[in-house]
Amino acid sequence: MKLLTASLLALSLAPACVRAQDTAALNKLTDSWPTYNGDYSGRRYSPLTKINTATVKQLQPAWNFRVETTTGGGKRISATPLEVDGVLYFTVPSHVWAVDARTGRKLWQFDWASKGGETIGNRGAAVLGNTVYFETEDCNLVAIDRTTGKEKWHASIGNPDQFYFGSVAPVIVKNHVMVGISGDDFDNPGYIEAHDPETGALQWRWYDHPNPGDPEAKTWPNDEAMMHGGGMTWVAGTYDPELNLYYFGTGNAQPVINGLARLGDNLYTSTICALNPDTGKLVWYFQPNPHDTHDWDAVQTPVLIDGIIDGKHRKLVAQASRNGWYFLLDRATGKNLLSTPFAMQNWTLGVSKNGSPIPNPEKMAHTNGALVSPNQAGAANWYPPSYSPQTGLFYVPAYDAYSVYYIYDNNKKPEGWAGNDRGGWSEASLRAFDYRTGKVRWNHKWPSSGGRSGILTTAGNLLFTGDTTTNLVAFNAANGTILWHAGLGSIVSNGPITYELDGLQYLVAAAGDTLYAFVLR
Amino acid sequence: MLASQYKGCAAAGTRYASFCKLLNNPSALELDEVKWLLLRSLQVTALLPLISVPLLAQFPHSPVDPDRRDRGAAIYAGKCASCHGDDARGTANGPDLIRSLPVLHDRREMLYGKELGPLLTTLPGHSYKFNDKQLGDLSQFLTASINGILRSGGNSQPTGLLNGDAQAGEAYFNGAGGCTKCHSVTGDLAGIGKKYSASALQQKFLFPNSGLFLKKKVQVTVKLRSGKTYTGDVVHIDDFTVMLREKSGETLSFNRVPGITVTTDNPYTAHEELLRKYTNADMHNMTTYLDSLK
């Protein structure tokens, strides 16, 4: 009870705390985990060291919190919880919880009356001042009072009639709530938009296709195809405050599998975009996956790395993309510095002069099948990767896989999916490679294929992730030795986080419908 | 019985304790443990190959009554198709109705044409007075047309699978594929073309370790510190636990503690290596050849 009171007290003081907005706090993830990726960089690297290679074996269970409410079956916690002022905020489709980060005690629960939508998952919330923000599957951005758990306002972010839905964790950038949109069942354009954090008013919306007449519009056969060309913005972006650029990847082109009526590179689908968050204007782009016909997207977190290339300090952005390729770019200009496979892949004819892989038409779907690697689930997927500046390694849950892609709809105007992949073979690994070269430093092949989860690295030279079954596992981040594990009730379904409160370092991961907290006492 | 062999069993309080309970005292299993065990064994044996397929169906379909859809299709063919196309995807004379916002709204809200009716009398060139039943039928046809293009749409059959070259497939089977090392078309594969549809056959020779009713599973051998070994089908394996089923049907579980060695033997290795070698033509030729083995 005492702890609860303390938490409520902390909450009542919350309006005075603007940590989620404080860039300095974002750069020092110690007592908080204030955004989807912890900080703006997308590294998911914590400077905390109490839990380290020597002490990790002493980790003990602290508490569990089980979600008992569901909308449309979406009870799997794929959200990365935020931790602000000793309170965790996390979501499943249409529901948000505030839970004491020390005890797991529920402070409030917010239930949205959904009008229906895809409940495949909800990746989490954003916090600014006294407000918690999240997206609903029926296309609303909802603002909730952090103290009371009551709705402040909601704003439309899309038309659910067109199969758009909300699942992305919003990101606060200055006075913008950055919102991505989901839904690749139907041939709609993707977009990203910014809302006013106080009122919810739409500040701008940027559609991720060129305007008719732009040079990039020539990457489509016609404007009709371009305006229905897909490119959902499934994953929360990253942000460089100095450059004032917001980075995110866009999803697959539409129709998804049969691309014969949209020949060309199909910009800006499956593209890494750098946007000015104040104006919603595109500053540069790089396309990891031209003319996507495999549902591979390029939405994997663009991770910001301050590194050294050829002896020079460089501001970099790196992506281990679902199509099996790793890309390293200059994040001020978008100039490609490295394109190299990090997983098994057979779909390219090489790399273009600007660094984009060139798709092999032989490996696009055929009515009688094309044998393709990776499979649709991808070499990577939405599961958060991690970069540790301590080891200089980029970590990704990597799949080496094959499947057969078929065109099912040979209409001269295919729509929607128009095909799919089938069956397959896959091997699952946790892969660590040098961010500068893409060379694998260590690889842990899981004994069986199965689920995937996100990754956390720490200054304690640790890496935490889920295995393909139901274990939360700690590795030595430098050499890939397993140091600790805990059997949970399900596959780890999000990216683990860590924070320190009252001198105690906690580790929190979700597995299915339950949050599991561990602590070093 | 066999109690000593359960020493390696997972510690109480973990999910794997459920395995031990299943072995020692099945009646003590909680319902959710039973479900979990079922799920676990299913995941390992049958569902693994499906992981590469999207785990969840996409947007819920607005349900369609086939009779109403067919009546709606007849109305559509008579009144709408000439401008909007046989497949509702539009022509030069009329827009795509699958991408029409009023039609999409009608579908999602299951309005059965209530809001489409007025449009059909007021839009330029439209003066179609349908009664409620006709509107509902038309709505069901359009809803079915939209549902059909979704990821989970009904149209999901590969076609033209037998347009490969059977002779080339036979040559590959006997030559580059190395298939005769384990298989014979007069032995284990006799009549294989009768047993499976072409699409199942194609998947089967590419990915024999996927899907239901595997002939042979990955084998695992656990060697204890004492030197005693246990061999059987893998039921579950991760970095910390291994569960196997012996030929006798006995199921055993071990913690992978220091001193225990675990080795696996995958009977499908040769098939997996072929994945890196097949061209699409090899795959199509092999499908055509194997299908001819009636």
pLDDT for the residue numbered B18: 39
pLDDT for the residue numbered B210: 78
List the 61-80 stretch of A: residues with Cβ below 8 A of B.
72-73
What pLDDT, in 10s, does the model give residues A488-517?
999 999 999 999 999 999 999 999 999 999
Residue A257 has pLDDT above 70, yes or no: yes
Cα distances (Å, whole numbers) of residue A446 to A317, A395, A455, B240: 28, 15, 15, 11
Q: Out of A122-131, B44-53, B209-218, B234-243, which region has the weakest mean confidence (pLDDT)? A: B44-53
CA distance A19 to chain B (A): 37
pLDDT for the residue numbered A456: 98
What pLDDT, in 10s, does the model give residues B130-147?
999 999 999 999 999 999
Residue A190 has pLDDT above 80, yes or no: yes
Residue B56 has pLDDT above 50, yes or no: no
Burial class (CB in 10 A: 0-12, 13-18, 19+), A174: middle
Residue B20 has pLDDT above 70, yes or no: no
d(CA A169, CA A180): 8
CA distance B124 to chain A (A): 22
Residue B72 — very low, low, confident or very high, per pLDDT cuts 50/70/90? very high
pLDDT for the residue numbered B31: 39
Token pair, residue B52, equals 């590469």
Query: Would you call A512 an interface residue with chain B, using a CB distance cutoff of 8 Å?
Result: no
Cα distances (Å, whole numbers) of residue B191 to A75, B171, B181: 46, 18, 19
Residue B222 has pLDDT above 80, yes or no: yes
Token pair, residue A223, equals 């404007």
- Look over chain A and give the mean of its residue pLDDT values, rounded to a whole number: 94
Give strand ranges (E) for A54-213.
60-66, 82-84, 87-92, 95-100, 106-111, 126-128, 131-135, 140-145, 151-156, 171-173, 176-180, 191-195, 202-207
The stretch A311-318 carries a mean pLDDT of 96
* pLDDT over 90, % of chain A: 89
pLDDT for the residue numbered A11: 38
- Please state, as a whole number, how many other Cβ atoms lie within 10 Å of the Cβ of residue B213: 6
d(CA A208, CA A222): 16
Contacts of A489 in chain B (CB under 8 A): 15, 36
Q: Which residue out of A85, A187, A208, A295 is catalytically annotated? A: A295
d(CA B71, CA B230): 64
Contacts of A470 in chain B (CB under 8 A): 15, 238
Q: Given an 8 Å threshold on Cβ–Cβ distance, is A449 in contact with B210? A: no
pLDDT for the residue numbered B48: 35
pLDDT for the residue numbered A6: 41
Long-range contacts from B97-103, C-beta under 8 angstroms, 24+ separation: B97/B142, B97/B145, B98/A415, B98/B142, B98/B145, B98/B146, B98/B149, B99/A187, B99/A228, B99/A415, B101/A159, B101/A161, B101/A162, B103/B142, B103/B146
Of B58, B107, B239, the CB nearest to A447: B239
- Please state, as a whole number, how many other Cβ atoms lie within 10 Å of the Cβ of residue A489: 16
Phi-psi sector, A116: left (phi>0), alpha (psi -120 to 50), beta: left
Best B14, B20, B56, B59 member to test A by mutation, with max A CBs in 10 Å, is B59
Residue keyed to tokens 């590959």: B172
* pLDDT over 90, % of chain B: 73
Residue B155 has pLDDT above 60, yes or no: yes
pLDDT for the residue numbered B216: 79
d(CA A286, CA A103): 44
Of A368, A423, A447, the CB nearest to B160: A368
Give strand ranges (E) for A245-368.
245-249, 272-276, 281-286, 303-309, 312-320, 325-330, 336-341, 348-351, 357-359
Q: List the strands of the sheet with A87-92, edge to edge.
A: A82-84, A87-92, A95-100, A106-111
Widest CA span of chain B, in angstroms?
A: 88
Q: Given an 8 Å threshold on Cβ–Cβ distance, is A487 in contact with B58? A: no
pLDDT for the residue numbered A70: 78
Residue B8 has pLDDT above 90, yes or no: no
Residue B40 — very low, low, confident or very high, per pLDDT cuts 50/70/90? very low
What pLDDT, in 10s, does the model give residues A157-170?
999 999 999 999 99
- Of B153 and A477, the structure prediction assigns the larger pLDDT to A477
Token pair, residue A521, equals 């006492």
List the 285-344 stretch of A: residues with Cβ below 8 A of B.
none
Q: What is the ipTM, given to two decimal places?
A: 0.91
Residue A238: its H or E element: strand A238-240
What pLDDT, in 10s, does the model give residues A85-126?
999 999 999 999 999 999 999 999 999 999 888 888 999 999
Q: Which domains does chain A have, with CATH numbers?
A: 2-519 (2.140.10.10)
pLDDT for the residue numbered B38: 40
What pLDDT, in 10s, does the model give residues B89-133?
999 999 999 999 999 999 999 999 999 999 999 999 999 999 999
The stretch A343-359 carries a mean pLDDT of 98
pLDDT for the residue numbered A411: 86
Q: Given an 8 Å threshold on Cβ–Cβ distance, is A368 in contact with B158? A: yes
d(CA A148, CA A132): 11
Query: Would you call A251 an interface residue with chain B, using a CB distance cutoff of 8 Å?
Result: no
Contacts of A297 in chain B (CB under 8 A): none
pLDDT for the residue numbered B46: 37
Q: Given an 8 Å threshold on Cβ–Cβ distance, is B101 in contact with A163? A: no
HEC-encoded secondary structure of A363-391:
HCCECCCEEECCCCCCCCCCCCCEEECCC
Q: Given an 8 Å threshold on Cβ–Cβ distance, is A415 in contact with B89? A: yes
Q: Tell me the backbone φ, ψ of residue A136, rounded to 5 degrees.
A: -105, 160
Residue B160 has pLDDT above 90, yes or no: yes
Q: Tell me, yes or no, if A409 is annotated catalytic.
A: no
What pLDDT, in 10s, does the model give residues B191-218?
999 999 999 999 999 999 876 667 778 9
- Of A284 and B10, the structure prediction assigns the larger pLDDT to A284
The model's pTM is: 0.90
